[in-house]
Amino acid sequence: MPTSLTSSLDHWNDPYPAATLTAIPSVFQKPFLKTPHQLGIPSPTLTVKKEEHDIPLETAKLIQQREEEVLAVQTDLAVPHGDHGSEHSGQQGKSHSQHAKERNRIAAGKSRAKNREHRLRVQSKEQELEQTNHDLSNCVANLTREVQELKMKLLQHTDCDCSLIHDYLAAEAQRYICGLSKQSQLEAIPPHAACN
Q: What is the pLDDT of residue 1?
A: 47
- CA-wise closest residue to 66 among 30, 26, 41: 30
Q: What is the 3-state secondary structure (H, E, C) of the chain?
A: CCCCHHHHCCCCCCCCCHHHECCCCCCCCCCCECCHHHHCCCCCCCCCCHHHHCCCHHHHHHHHHHHHHHHHHHHHHHCCHHHCCHHHHHHHHHHHHHHHHHHHHHHHHHHHHHHHHHHHHHHHHHHHHHHHHHHHHHHHHHHHHHHHHHHHHHHHCCCCCCHHHHHHHHHHHHHHHHHHHHHHHHHHCCHHHHHC
- CA-wise closest residue to 38 among 82, 65, 73, 11: 73
Q: What is the rounded distance in angstroms from the CA atom of residue 184 to the CA atom of residue 157? A: 31
The structure's pTM equals: 0.38
CA atoms within 13 A on the CB side of 61: 3
Q: What is the pLDDT of residue 107?
A: 95
pLDDT tens track of the chain, all 196 residues? 445 455 444 555 555 555 445 555 554 555 555 665 566 665 555 554 544 455 667 777 777 777 777 766 666 555 454 545 555 566 676 788 889 999 999 999 999 999 999 999 999 999 999 999 999 999 999 999 999 999 888 888 888 888 888 898 889 889 989 888 887 777 777 666 555 4
CB atoms within 10 A of CB 112: 10
Q: What is the rounded distance in angstroms from the CA atom of residue 134 to the CA atom of residue 111? A: 34
Q: What is the pLDDT of residue 196?
A: 47
Q: What is the pLDDT of residue 188?
A: 74
Where do the structural domains in the chain lie, given as residue ranges? 5-80, 97-156, 161-196
Q: What is the rounded distance in angstroms from the CA atom of residue 44 to the CA atom of residue 17? A: 12
Q: What is the rounded distance in angstroms from the CA atom of residue 53 to the CA atom of residue 86? A: 45
CA 65 to chain CA centroid, nearest Å: 42
Q: What is the pLDDT of residue 46?
A: 52
